[in-house]
């Protein structure tokens, strides 16, 4: 038997893993659903911290020099906001969703290495805590943005615990994401149910396989760079030498190492969002995906091409900028392919009247609509940046706008859609449809408003890392609009988190059955919420949508009997 295929299952082979004779009174700490939920909660906590920092920064930028914070404090907030937003929120929340859902989707009773995921969780707790504590520690502060482009701007004078906490914290979180990603990759490859070949793997699980592979290849480079930075600081390694180059170190080495790791990582956090979209849209369109094979190929190609455009983020690579600009443009093609596949699927369902109007206003579809709109804006901004790499692409705020819309905005809305879609399965409760419509409108509207305003600031050549700007009012209107968009986004998060807490924790949400959405994949073949061992019995798997196959067969049987 090869890695890529499993044998067809006989009726005797499709029983799930043996259930314990006496169920435990509470789920074990290594239950993937529990660990996944804790990852999601942790990501939301870090998002709240990053959001508070963003609120302070937007208040500072609402005028030319409001005096809310000093320039140095603003740069510290900017650095921590970006680092927590990417590595503290996006990474853990997607690892959490994947940890909870993937074993259910592939018919497994557990992860390949259950304790490894629990270890990764505690590494994120420790690393995130260190990053949050770093501004309050002694010594020079890291004030260079989440890319840490000049993490030691004062050279030898830059000493103390603050930078050490930032470096060690980021290193722990990156290590945790590598371990968790590797665990998920092995789970998808080795733990699939009989009959579920890789070609039949659900697209979310496939996207997790691709995303995890990208993390395994990219983030060790960042961890290695952080180790070199630590050696440079404490043992006179002269690798970067304080990023001044005065002691033989190469000050241009850091941005190349960082972006070689960070650029693919950003795509790795978007890839599962596309996988979620490929799960949700066909279910509510009451159709199979227009082309499962093309979507599988596109997601795989996206994982490969994610490494092609990292140099477009490095200003010092002027000679190779054209090559990396082509790479940054090519990586958008698989994303567009998946989006067109989704549009074709939804359009087919609407044309054949298989979709009722009420189904378009469910919580998952509300968030998914926002995801697709924000994704379109992000793709447009990234395409302009790739084509015009010598002009507006090189302006700082255009890059910030692209990162906020394409990577943070779209990825976040997809994660919210995933939680709304799988909440009935994981926790046995539906989220509120009315709250979802309000939250989706606020989130998508806020991200669009702030994103467009940031694109305008990029066109106007406003730089990041600055807490003040000229008082000629050139930048003030767009900054005010961006602040208004940030307020809308924050309100959307408040509504969503409140809905999640009331519906799930407060048990006010409508109770869910085993298959409340009419799903296609294996997670809908067990109870809601599932037992610790996931399945009593698995259905026979003959395609990528085994639960849909069962419904179709039952319908045909009833029609034949009638």
Residue with tokens 């890695």: 3
Instruction: Confirm if 464 and 397 have CB atoms less than 8 A apart.
Output: yes
pLDDT at 161: 84
pLDDT at 562: 56
Q: Which two tokens stand for residue 258?
A: 């960082």
Among 274, 267, 276, residue whose Cα is nearest residue 297: 274
Q: In whole angstroms, what is the distance from residue 373 CA to residue 388 CA?
A: 23
Q: In whole angstroms, what is the distance from residue 438 CA to residue 367 CA?
A: 10
- Residues forming a β-bridge with 537: 15
pLDDT at 244: 43
Query: Per-residue pLDDT for the chain (562 aa), expressed as one digit of tens each?
Result: 333 444 344 433 344 444 444 444 445 678 999 999 999 999 999 999 999 999 999 999 988 888 888 888 888 888 899 999 999 999 999 999 999 999 999 999 999 999 999 999 999 999 999 999 988 887 767 767 777 766 544 444 456 788 889 889 999 999 999 999 999 999 999 999 999 999 999 999 999 999 999 999 999 999 999 998 888 777 777 777 544 444 545 567 888 889 999 999 999 999 999 999 999 999 998 889 999 999 999 999 999 999 998 888 877 676 777 888 899 899 999 999 999 999 999 888 777 655 565 666 789 999 999 999 999 999 999 998 887 655 454 457 888 899 999 999 999 999 999 999 999 999 999 999 999 999 999 999 999 999 999 999 988 888 887 888 887 678 899 999 999 999 999 999 999 999 999 999 999 999 999 999 999 999 999 999 999 999 999 988 999 999 999 998 888 776 666 5
Residue with tokens 């073949």: 525
pLDDT at 547: 94
Sign of torsion over alpha carbons 479, 48, 363, 102: positive
Beta strands in 400-470 (DSSP E): none
Q: In whole angstroms, what is the distance from residue 514 CA to residue 184 CA?
A: 25
pLDDT, tens only, 148-168: 766 544 444 456 788 889 889
Among 443, 306, 328, 444, residue whose Cα is nearest residue 389: 328
Q: In whole angstroms, what is the distance from residue 544 CA to residue 106 CA?
A: 10
Coil vs helix vs strand at 374: helix
Among 265, 171, 149, residue whose Cα is nearest residue 224: 171
The CATH number assigned to the domain with range 28-560 reads 1.20.210.10
Among 388, 381, 418, residue whose Cα is nearest residue 403: 381
pLDDT at 27: 52
pLDDT at 435: 95
Q: In whole angstroms, what is the distance from residue 530 CA to residue 537 CA?
A: 12
Query: Domain spans of the chain?
Result: 28-560
H helices of 286-393, where? 292-305, 321-330, 332-351, 363-387
Instruction: Classify 248 in phi/psi space as left (phi over 0), alpha (psi -120 to 50) or beta.
Output: left
Backbone angles phi, psi at 221, to 5 degrees: -65, -40
Q: In whole angstroms, what is the distance from residue 257 CA to residue 253 CA?
A: 6
Angstrom distances, CA of residue 208 to CA of 126, 153, 214, 446, 496: 24, 38, 10, 28, 24
């Amino acid at each position: 038997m090869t890695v890529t295929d499993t044998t067809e299952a006989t009726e005797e082979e499709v029983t799930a893993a043996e259930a314990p004779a006496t169920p435990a009174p509470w789920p074990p700490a290594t239950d993937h659903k529990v660990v996944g939920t804790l990852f999601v909660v942790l990501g939301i906590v870090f998002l709240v911290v990053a959001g508070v920092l963003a609120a302070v920064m937007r208040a500072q930028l609402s005028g030319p020099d409001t005096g809310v914070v000093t320039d140095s404090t603003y740069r510290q907030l900017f650095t921590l906001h970006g680092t927590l937003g990417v590595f503290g929120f996006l990474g853990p929340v997607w690892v959490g969703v994947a940890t909870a859902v993937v074993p259910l989707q592939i018919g497994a009773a557990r992860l390949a290495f259950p304790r490894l995921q629990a270890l990764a969780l505690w590494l994120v707790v420790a690393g995130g805590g260190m990053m949050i504590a770093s501004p309050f520690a002694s010594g020079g502060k890291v004030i260079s943005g989440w890319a840490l482009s000049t993490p030691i701007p004062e050279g030898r004078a830059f000493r103390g615990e603050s930078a050490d906490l930032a470096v060690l914290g980021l290193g722990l979180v990156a290590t945790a994401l590598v371990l968790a990603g590797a665990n998920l990759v092995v789970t998808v490859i080795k733990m699939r149910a009989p009959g579920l070949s890789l070609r039949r793997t659900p697209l979310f699980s496939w996207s997790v396989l691709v995303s995890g592979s990208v993390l395994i290849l990219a983030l060790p480079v960042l961890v290695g760079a952080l180790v070199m930075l630590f050696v440079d600081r404490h043992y006179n390694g002269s690798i970067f030498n304080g990023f001044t180059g005065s002691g033989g170190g190469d000050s241009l080495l850091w941005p190349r190492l960082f972006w070689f790791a960070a650029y693919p990582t950003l795509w790795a956090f978007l890839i599962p969002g596309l996988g979620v979209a490929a799960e949700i849209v066909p279910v509510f369109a009451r159709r199979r995906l227009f082309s499962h094979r093309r979507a599988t190929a596109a997601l795989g190609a996206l994982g490969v091409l994610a490494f092609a455009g990292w140099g477009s983020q490095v200003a010092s690579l002027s000679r190779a900028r054209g090559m990396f600009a082509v790479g940054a443009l090519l990586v958008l093609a698989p994303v567009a392919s998946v989006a067109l596949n989704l549009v074709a699927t939804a359009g087919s369902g609407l044309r054949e009247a298989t979709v009722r109007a009420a189904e378009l206003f469910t919580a998952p579809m509300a968030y998914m609509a926002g995801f697709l709109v924000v994704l379109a804006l992000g793709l447009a901004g990234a395409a302009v940046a790739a084509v015009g790499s010598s002009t507006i692409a090189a302006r700082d705020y255009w890059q910030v706008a692209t990162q906020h819309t394409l990577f943070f905005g779209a990825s976040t809305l997809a994660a919210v859609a995933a939680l709304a879609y799988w909440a009935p399965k994981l926790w046995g409760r539906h989220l509120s449809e009315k709250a979802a419509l309000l939250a989706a409108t606020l989130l998508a509207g806020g991200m669009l408003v702030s994103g467009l305003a940031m694109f305008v600031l990029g066109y106007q050549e406003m730089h990041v890392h600055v807490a003040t700007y000229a008082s000629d009012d050139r930048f003030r209107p767009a900054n005010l609009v961006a602040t208004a968009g940030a307020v809308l986004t924050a309100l959307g998060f408040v509504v969503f988190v409140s809905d999640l807490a009331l519906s799930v924790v407060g048990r006010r949400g409508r109770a869910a059955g085993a298959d409340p959405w009419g799903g296609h994949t294996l997670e809908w073949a067990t109870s809601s919420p599932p037992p610790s061992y996931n399945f009593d019995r698995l259905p026979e798997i003959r395609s990528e949508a085994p639960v849909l196959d069962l419904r179709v067969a039952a319908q045909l049987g009833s029609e034949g009997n009638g």
